[in-house]
């Protein structure tokens, strides 16, 4: 074994081997994979080997498509058969709600280049002869489904990597990982030590244990999973003989089942409701090629549905039941990327669909390690989407919920219950008493809307029970004044003598003067967005940043990686050390003036001013800015004072008819101002010009901010896309995000977010289209639930187009 390597990859399952292959293919050949046993000694060997392109997140779907397209290449390169059978498949809906969901999947496929087609149950039965069409209301055909040989694929990755110069050491168990003073890593094994610049944790079932070697508790948990294999079936033999083809894949969402042919019989797997975690606290090191005891009672309810939906199963025997463990992150997507605070330590774990996702994970991680950027939008897989709040017990609750809902519909207005409430703010009980309906953001409970007694969310793809109540919240803001809790923003304090210079380099905006705020895009080296913030200069040398709450860990990883080593700049993520309240509406200043002795007149405290002031008896930081696009204020307050500030504002607001509003109303309000938001409109694949944030970029400022050269090039060349707001001729359903945008009969763009703008009484969608058509007056359509609706670009905001209200 070599004593030094640029990269050590820990784990020889499908994921580790894919990472090794991609690193070598990308030109890093001084790389070694360490496997404690034979390759495929974790969950990989007993997988059912199914692969498919569909995923709830379109960016993950793209990487799944890439994974499937890769198998031919690694087979040719390695000479190792992968056993790929691209049979195609059917996705089945037994309810109308499921069919609506499937139509959304077909629609996404249009701009992802995934070939999906809605078909009738009878057409599905012609393709997949074992199903009873009477049990279904519709189906979708997917040509890119199939299965493969898990061991063959893993060995093909490893052999191809070796051919490119990478090394694989089997029977080499990593026992400890120690950081050296120069930042490199000592990877200590049962066979000696390797010093490496980078370490990748692809430990699969042991990813937690490998993480613990560097003091990291990763939010992953293994679950038991069962599939059965039947005896040979005459129906299968007859079909094979008649058509000369295998029986294609089927996913029966309402039965929570997946099926495919396995030799002369069938394989049927299920994600059962009565699920069971495996090795909740510690994965035994002596586990390897064993299977777990099958428990047919646990999967009996699913099998019952399966036997009804696929009647031929009633006449066949079960040859074998496989029960094996594999790992999940709380939301079921992989954990990939560099770990904040541990430079050179990378993770590629929690990959629950290794044969659909392993290639994409390897590609993204190798790009990231070599180029400094994953090269794709992988937010849905980024390890930074979790913070310290994703504890082991939280992970346990969420993984179990996610497993049991693997094939369940999640409606756009449906909030999942497990692991909640976890983080709450001091006004939680007070807002609950007012009817707050809670959602969750980065582990924190956030009020979505306020419901009268006995009214609750009715889960639906269409406008639902909250509609009229959200409309009232919006009316309270636009007509007088509303109050929202905004503690879910991320908040950062930046201090130190080097703070201004550092911010000038990190952020693309012009730095605001003392007592002022500005909108602050942050770019990567390639000139694309990595953040959008509000930056406040509280006092020269003391800066405050507010940004997207879900991206706190993501942004801190970036900030810390760019801090000067001399300690001249300090940045702290304030998390819930600072709570937030916002008031907005034409009467907002009247309310504020009643609770503070500070002069908040327009002259003394204009738009984008920031100052410390007391609200009632509570010391606060107040900025005159509002995401509602109205006259408004964001108020930051230590949690111990939040209730006092809340009480003072509500009491002062009474005479103006103050009303509470939640994040759904805030969404409705920001849509009529064409305001975008992080992770929806603003993502690391768009340039500031494309995203309409160029007006906040100080292209001419002296500081050589990160991404400046690329941003200037984008401005010169014009980029490719444009973010646009559309008015949609919707009926009873609005966009939720990821719908295709049609132009002149072809899909040309995609929706990032939208909803109903209650004050303007319009259905609004925001999304990206190619710049060539971005100023067309008509010809656009947006597809909602399988139906195309006329849409028009709304260049001026629907509300306060001249920005008079918010500056008044
Ligand atoms: C019953 C079942 C059916 C499945 N069906 C499918 C399917 O149809 N399609 C699909 O895509 N996925 C399926 N999966 C999931 C799939 O198996 C996983 O996504 C995949 O195996 C994850 O691979 P991995 O490389 O991350 O982890 P693993 O396969 O667990 O590999 C981790 C490797 O790391 C090694 N290792 C760990 N710690 C160390 C250490 N300290 N030193 C050295 N080596 C170490 C282990 O020995 C192991 O070989 C199924 C899983 C099960 C259990």
Mean per-residue pLDDT of the chain: 96
Mind listing the pLDDT tens digit for each residue in 226-263? 999 999 999 999 999 999 999 999 999 988 999 999 99
In tens, the pLDDT along 301-311 reads: 999 999 999 99
Cα 332 from Cα 336, distance rounded (Å): 12
Helix or strand holding residue 138 (H, E): strand 138-142
Q: Is a pLDDT exceeding 90 seen at residue 485? A: yes
Atom 48 (ligand 1): residue with closest C-alpha? 42
Q: Is the pLDDT of residue 795 over 90?
A: no
Task: Decide whether any atom of ligand 1 lies within 6 Å of the 246 Cβ.
Answer: no
pLDDT at residue 144 greater than cutoff 90: no
The whole-number average pLDDT for the span 58-62 is 90
453 pLDDT band, cuts 50/70/90, is confident
Rounded average pLDDT over 54-79: 92
Residue 493: burial class (beta carbons within 10 Å; 0-12, 13-18, 19+): middle
Q: Is the beta carbon of 352 within 6 A of some atom in ligand 1?
A: yes
CA distance 365 to 378: 10
Q: What is the pLDDT of residue 757?
A: 98
> Going by C-beta distance under 8 Å and a sequence separation of 6 or more, which residues neighbour residue 573?
490, 491, 492, 552, 555, 556
In this prediction, residue 673 carries a pLDDT of 95
Among protein residues, the one with the nearest Cα to ligand 1's atom 26 is 204
Which helix (H) or strand (E) segment is 322 a member of?
A: strand 318-328
Please give the distance, rounded to the nearest whole angstrom, from the Cα atom of residue 43 to the centre of ligand 1.
3
Q: Which residues contact 424 (CB under 8 A, 6 or more apart)?
A: 444, 445
pLDDT tens digits, residue range 346-403?
999 999 999 999 999 999 999 999 999 999 999 999 999 999 999 999 999 999 999 9
- The verdict on the CB of residue 50 being under 6 Å from ligand 1 is yes
Q: What pLDDT is recorded for position 716?
A: 98
In angstroms, what is the span from residue 37 Cα to ligand 1's centroid? 13
From 278, 274, 310, 273, select the one nearest 293 (Cα to Cα): 278
Query: Average pLDDT of 689-714?
Result: 98
pTM, rounded to two decimals: 0.97
pLDDT at residue 55 above 90? no
Least reliable range by pLDDT among 141-145, 424-428, 651-655: 141-145
Q: Does the beta carbon of 173 sit less than 6 angstroms from any atom of ligand 1?
A: yes
Report whether residue 62 contacts ligand 1, using a CB cutoff of 6 Å: no
Query: What's the pLDDT at 174?
Result: 98
Ligand 1 contact, 724 CB (< 6 A): no
Phi/psi of residue 375, nearest 5 degrees? 80, 0
pLDDT over 90 at 777, yes or no: no
Distance from Cα 52 to the centre of ligand 1, integer Å:
17
> CA-CA distances (angstroms) from residue 359 to 77, 321, 488?
15, 28, 34
Could you tell me if the CB of 220 is within 6 A of ligand 1?
Answer: no
């Amino acid at each position: 074994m070599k004593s030094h390597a640029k990269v050590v990859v820990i784990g020889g399952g499908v994921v580790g081997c894919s990472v090794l292959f991609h690193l070598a293919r990308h030109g890093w050949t001084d790389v070694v994979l360490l496997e404690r046993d034979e390759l495929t000694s974790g969950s990989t060997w007993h997988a059912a080997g199914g692969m498919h392109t569909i995923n709830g997140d379109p960016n993950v779907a793209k990487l799944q498509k890439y994974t499937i397209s890769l198998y031919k290449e690694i087979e040719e390169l390695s000479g190792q058969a992968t056993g790929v059978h691209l049979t195609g498949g059917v996705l089945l809906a037994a309810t109308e709600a499921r069919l609506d969901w499937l139509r959304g999947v077909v629609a996404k496929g249009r701009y992802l280049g995934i070939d999906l087609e809605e078909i009738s149950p009878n057409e599905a039965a012609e393709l997949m002869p074992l199903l009873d069409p009477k049990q279904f209301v519709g189906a979708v055909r997917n040509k890119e489904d199939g299965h493969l040989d898990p061991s063959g694929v893993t060995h093909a990755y490893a052999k191809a990597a070796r051919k490119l110069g990478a090394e694989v050491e089997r029977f080499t168990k990593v026992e400890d990982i120690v950081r050296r003073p120069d930042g490199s890593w000592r990877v200590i094994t049962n066979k000696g030590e390797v010093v490496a610049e980078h370490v990748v944790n692809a430990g699969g079932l042991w990813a937690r244990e490998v993480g613990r070697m560097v003091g990291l508790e990763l939010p992953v948990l293994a679950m038991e999973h069962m599939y059965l294999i039947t005896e040979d079936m005459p129906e299968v033999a007859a079909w094979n003989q008649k058509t000369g083809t295998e029986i294609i894949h089927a996913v029966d969402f309402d039965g929570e089942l997946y099926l495919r042919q396995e030799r002369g019989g069938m394989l049927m797997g299920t994600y059962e409701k009565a699920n069971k975690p495996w090795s909740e606290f510690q994965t035994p090191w002596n586990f390897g090629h064993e299977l777990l005891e099958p428990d047919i009672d646990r999967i009996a309810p699913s099998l019952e549905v399966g036997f009804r939906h696929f009647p031929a199963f009633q006449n066949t025997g079960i040859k074998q039941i496989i029960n094996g463990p594999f790992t999940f992150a709380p939301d079921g997507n992989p954990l990939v990327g560099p770990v904040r605070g541990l430079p050179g330590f990378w993770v590629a774990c929690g990959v629950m669909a290794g044969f659909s996702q392993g290639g994409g994970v390897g590609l993204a991680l190798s790009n990231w390690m070599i180029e400094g950027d994953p090269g794709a939008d992988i937010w849905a897989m980024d390890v930074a989407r979790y913070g310290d709040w994703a504890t082991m017990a939280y992970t346990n609750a969420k993984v179990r919920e996610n497993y049991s809902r693997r094939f369940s519909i999640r409606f756009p207005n449906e909030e999942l219950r497990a692991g909640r409430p976890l983080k709450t703010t001091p006004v939680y009980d007070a807002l609950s008493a007012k009817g707050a309906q809670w959602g969750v953001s980065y582990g924190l409970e956030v009020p979505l809307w306020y419901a009268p007694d006995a009214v609750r969310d009715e889960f639906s793809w269409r406008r639902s029970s909250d509609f009229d109540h959200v409309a009232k919240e919006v009316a309270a803001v636009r007509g007088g004044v509303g109050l929202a809790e905004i503690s879910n923003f991320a908040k950062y304090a930046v201090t130190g003598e080097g703070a201004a210079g550092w911010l000038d380099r990190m952020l693309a905006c012009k730095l605001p003067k003392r007592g002022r705020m500005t909108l602050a895009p942050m770019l990567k080296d390639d000139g694309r967005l990595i953040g959008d913030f509000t930056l406040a200069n509280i006092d020269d040398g003391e800066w405050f940043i507010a940004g997207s709450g879900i991206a706190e860990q993501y942004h801190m990883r970036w900030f810390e990686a760019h801090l000067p080593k001399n300690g001249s700049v300090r940045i702290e993520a304030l998390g819930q050390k600072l709570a937030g309240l916002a008031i907005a509406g034409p009467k907002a200043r009247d309310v504020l003036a009643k609770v503070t002795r500070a002069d908040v007149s327009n002259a003394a405290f204009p738009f984008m001013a920031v100052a410390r002031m007391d609200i009632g008896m509570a010391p606060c930081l107040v900025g005159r800015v509002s995401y509602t696009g109205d006259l408004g204020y964001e108020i930051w307050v230590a949690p111990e004072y939040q209730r006092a500030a809340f009480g003072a504002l509500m009491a002062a607001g009474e005479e103006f008819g103050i009303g509470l509003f939640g994040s759904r109303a805030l969404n409705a309000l920001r849509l009529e101002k064409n305001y975008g938001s992080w992770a929806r409109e603003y993502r690391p694949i768009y340039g500031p010009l494309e995203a309409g944030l160029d007006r906040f970029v100080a292209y001419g400022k002296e500081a050589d901010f990160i991404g400046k050269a690329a941003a200037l090039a984008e401005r010169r060349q014009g980029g490719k896309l444009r973010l646009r707001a559309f008015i949609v001729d919707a009926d009873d359903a609005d966009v939720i995000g990821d719908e295709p945008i049609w132009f002149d009969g072809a899909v040309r763009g995609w929706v990032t977010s939208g909803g109903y703008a209650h004050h303007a009484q319009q259905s609004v969608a925001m999304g990206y289209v190619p710049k060539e058509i971005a100023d067309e007056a008509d010809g656009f359509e947006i597809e909602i639930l399988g139906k195309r609706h006329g849409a028009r670009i709304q260049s001026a905001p629907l509300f306060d187009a001249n920005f008079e209200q918010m500056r008044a």
